[in-house]
Amino acid sequence: MALTLYGIPFSRAFRSLWAANELGLDYAHVPTHFMKESKQPDYLAINPNGRVPAMVDGDLVLFESMAINLYLARTYGAPLRVDDPADEARAVQWSFWGITELEGTLLKAMFTALGLFGEEADPARANETLNKGAGRALGVLDRHLEGRDWLVGGDFSVADVNVAGVLNLALSGRLDLSQWGNVKEWLDRCYGRPGAKKTLEMARAARG
């Protein structure tokens, strides 16, 4: 089967769609909703976790957004692949870091900011959650980006898509990132990329 990505853009599938768009790949997109189609037997045969995203490329079936993106970068190359082994390890490091140090707090804060999943919309409380749960990690990222345009090796890469993809939760929730100026500037650079713009457009079109 040709490359197929599963998952609506308003989900963690955003990251993998972004990676594929940045690579200029010709792929099929199946807009699987994480509360509906992802629980159906035909999708569970692809991702038994019932979550999105998932990817099929030939004989390879993958779940986990970071694994999908690292595979796409390694397989399809510029502008996402990191060739130097040490820098590739750094890209993996930042990818794990994004989902372990940032993602849980960002999700919680976004739900609070937007009043999703039974929460009452409360932007002030969302920003408190952000500071308390992710302030230290965002400080680490901000200091790492001092004097750097991109996370790893001097060029835009899969590391940027993976971490900025996680931070899309903060952008969607309009969370206040102003105290992390380097992070904000880097996010502007990342979201100015053609692949990011195309994926945001897909998300807008899907919302109607």
**Of the candidates 56, 80, 78, 86, which has an alpha carbon nearest to the alpha carbon of residue 68?**
56
Residue 55-94 contact track with ligand GSH, rule CB under 6 A, x = bound? ---------xx-----------------------------
Under rule CB under 6 A, residue 11 binds ligand GSH: yes
CB of 143 to ligand GSH, least distance (A): 26
Under rule CB under 6 A, residue 101 binds ligand GSH: no
Under rule CB under 6 A, residue 51 binds ligand GSH: yes
Q: Which is nearer to ligand GSH, 49 or 179 (CB)?
A: 49
**Positive or negative: CA dihedral 187, 193, 195, 200:** positive
Tokens of 91: 């890209």
Q: Which is nearer to ligand GSH, 98 or 195 (CB)?
A: 98
CA distance linking residue 203 with residue 208, whole number of Å: 9
* CA distance to 55, 128, 166, 199, 202, per residue, from 22 (Å): 16, 33, 16, 9, 13
Residues in touch with ligand GSH (CB under 6 A) = 11-12, 34, 38, 50-53, 64-65
